[in-house]
Chains A and B, each alone.
Chain A
Amino acid sequence: MKVSLSWLQDYVTVDVDVVELAEALTMAGLEVDALSDRYAYLDGVVAGRLVEITPHPDADTLSVCKVDVGAGVKSIVCGASNIKKGDLVPVALPGTQLPSGDTIEAGRIRGRVSEGMLCSEAELTLGTDRSGILVLPESSVPGRGVAAALGLSDTVIEFDLTPNRSDCLSVIGIAREVAAILGVPLNYPEVKLPSGETPIEEFASVTIEVPDHCPRYAARLVTEVHIAPSPFWLRDRLNSVGLRAINNVVDVTNFVLMETGQPLHAFDFDRLAEHRIVVRTAKEGQIFTTLDGTERNLTDEALMICDGKGPVALAGIMGGLESEIEDDTTRVLIESAYFNPITIRRTAKRLGLSTESSHRFERGVDPEGIVRALDRAAQLMVQMGGGKLAAGVIDVYPRPIPERVIELSVDRTNRLLGTGLSRDAIISHLESIEFEVEVLDEDRLKVAPPTCRVDIERPEDLMEEVARLSGYNKIPTTQPVSHVVAKEQEKRLRVRDLLRHVLAGCGFSEIVTYSFIGEDACDRLLLADNDPRRRMVSIVNPLTEELGVMRTSLLPGLLTTMFRNSTQRNENLRIFELGRIFLKTGHDELPEEVEMISGLWTGAKHNSTWNVQEEKLGFYDIKGIVDTLCAALNIPHVSFRALKGPGHPYLRPGHAAEVYSGKKSVGTVGEVTGQVLHNFELKQPAYCLDLNFEEVVCLCFEEIRAKPISRFPATARDIALIVDDAVEAQSVLDFIEGLGQELIDGVEIFDVYKGSPIPARKKSMALRLTYRSFERNLTDSEVNSIHAAVTQKTLRQFKAELPAG
């Protein structure tokens, strides 16, 4: 919403600096977005004194002027005849853009140098006269701006209004606030109408078929109108807020719209069939051409203004091409109505059409301001167009908008705000913005807001008015009295924190990616057709197709992040994300949101350093991260099983495992397949972990019980086994543990070897067993005999052999 200071001053006297006023309005809830100099467009136009005028030698109608523009004398070719030597005139210097859009350039006119242009009043949009050059007052200083020379100064104030303040979508609305803030009176424009002769009812009629959509419709008729350009003051007012002047009738409707906030529509009365207005809804699928020439496809929700034959306007949004005001229009029917805000909003939204009118109707216009605005427009139209007014007004008001009366308690106001305002102070704040207040008793007030304040419904709304007018910053700052005892943080928050810090300790940096991804991510991960992760939640209106569905895995985000980093040559990455995935369920309207923790490791295994051989990153490194996490979170009975089957086609077979706690699967870990890397435009091997955070939270065992530790020393013995290649280390460890030998304190695998001299399809596996007692020192012979027995049983179990020699 834009308002010019000069227009504002038609209704209220502003005796403070405009910057100060803007600040005060902002602090009262009307946020000022920008202040701009109305005449900034005249910056390149300076005053110049004509020092010489000679006829152009090669053109009868032109003369060559020498003009002193302060910084020197310019030669300018000019066609006007109203100027003489010694006059001061506006000079548009090269580079200046005129309101017409033309940019002045230095050049030659009929062979003579011309370094600028002398301008008329109309060319500078300072008036209508285009017959000659504007002559500036004698006091003008050559070289200074023409705006200063003419004493022109105006500021355009641009507001960023909140949607509740429809009352401020007008100059008078803003003026009302200014008056309250500055404590000065608000002067409404005086409306005096000629009495008119023939009653309007003899010409026209209005029927509302759908009063719920159109609670009120008023009209006046002006006859014998002469369509012409508006006078300068009216065009200047419209220009000042960025509206284009069209003709006297249309300009008046726009002027009154801006002045009062009430949208009006002017119909060419002679083009209204049967001279009647019918307000009804459209037929489903009906086509209507709005005055911008666009064919609109309507639904039966759209509210139409019709004449005796058919629709003539899309109510409250835009007029139709057929009944537009034309140059030959002589009789004008002015419409001023109150349309149901929801009706207008639905249609405007559906058509994607937002106009000055629809913007105001959607937010609610003043239901009691309808006729006032109509009268104002009629008065101006008679004035501008030299027309005659038909007597009386048509005002069909089948659904009166009830007046609101709200009871306000002084005590409750002060308690909610935390203030100690007196009853009188509250009353005077409310009255300053035209609220009517009646005192019921010491505490209670009966308040009737002005009808333009459609946002005021409850006592709290009144409290806000009091608060904003007395100043939010004057409300004392207090601390709430607390009866709440601080509670322990929820487990999932603690686990989340721990996970993040353990991973960061392992060198993994956290990333955050968008929750939406491209639908093709599933194809890129090679997911099977029946994979549950293919049942994605899609967005109806995505920003782009690549952000079209809610993610069902964090892996695409990690791989995409790896890609983005690889384009920047960031080749060594350890990253993780902790976030939700979204799985469609058959039974619920909302998807299941599952929190996952996923990580990716690619590139170097260690920080680069000197004199140390770079080791290759492998499966056991990423697995080690999972081991560390499980240990840190105290997850019980962790085991890994080689991944089999089609569930995880993005992990390399034989280089990936499923992670279990007991019988519960917690997630997967492994190497990304070459094909999937290729699908994400990656080349470098990458390893990832993908754990279900919900399971992790459940399994994380927070209670710690210290176990006793033995004070006797341990003795170690090794076993080397030659076993089938298929024998998994875990099974050997599980077997030895299952023997139940109490003196075994620990078992550790310290070497696995394949190749000569070990026979094909066999491997050697070396284990170190630690023996220890809680009661005594163990003797060598005791340990030897137990170890021999364990070795024998293990050999037998795995059909293993001892290495030769």
Chain B
Amino acid sequence: MTELTTETAGATEAPGTAGTVRGAQERFAPPTRFAVPGRIAVSPQDASVWRTATLTGIRRETPRVSSFRFAVPGWPGHLPGQHLMLRLTAEDGYVAQRHYSIASAPDDSGHIELTLDHVEGGEVSGWFHTVARPGDRIEVRGPLSGFFAWPADRPALLVGAGSGVVPLWSMVRFHRSRDMRVPLRLLVSTRSPEDLIFAREMRSETTPVFTRSAPEGEAVGRLGAAHVAPFMAKQPPGGWEAYVCGSNSFAEHASRLLVAAGQPVERIRIERFG
């Protein structure tokens, strides 16, 4: 079987990235079917350089979540779904590093946005939510990871929970900014309407699932088979590429639902926030 080779060779030139695309060179292809062949290759150069990012704006999304806009000179561009590594450095040289998904769509503005949940007592998210102000400088390296990227080449079924919606929202923004025709749907699980990140921007592509409290007349409950079924019943030509993002327990739950509903495992990509 040569699933991996076929997939790799079929990777498309990604719009808006400087990343080089893996060629169809002879490589060992495991005899096992690969669940998540990379969509695009990541440039080793971009992955290894730390760049200074200057905070230019903060926008509140929900009581616990804000978006942070940065100017990043030399940002090589990204695809929606990719993340970066961010580091904060204390005066004694102590460093804290975390991964964050890129929330903004790729554009040529030299800016990127991150959207951060305020984790109780969180070392890095705590600094952002209580100390950071425009003009502050931090460091980032990336973009990283090609397997969760969406080059807008296949219909996408996005399934997220909590801050797991962030990389998926970059895909929605990308889709809108280029006025794309390729089908894209978002199924997002949230505790309550107040906790729904990007709620103001959501339109008919989004189906929210409320787990604790819902708007008047809407159901409260966990994401279940009934939420997934309509998407599986109405498949676009070529089927969905599923992107699942959230906590590990959500990712396990959602990916099992998709498999049970008939989504092929090799077309489910998972990003776990831990």
Do A and B assemble together? Answer: no
A: which residues have CB within 8 A of B? none
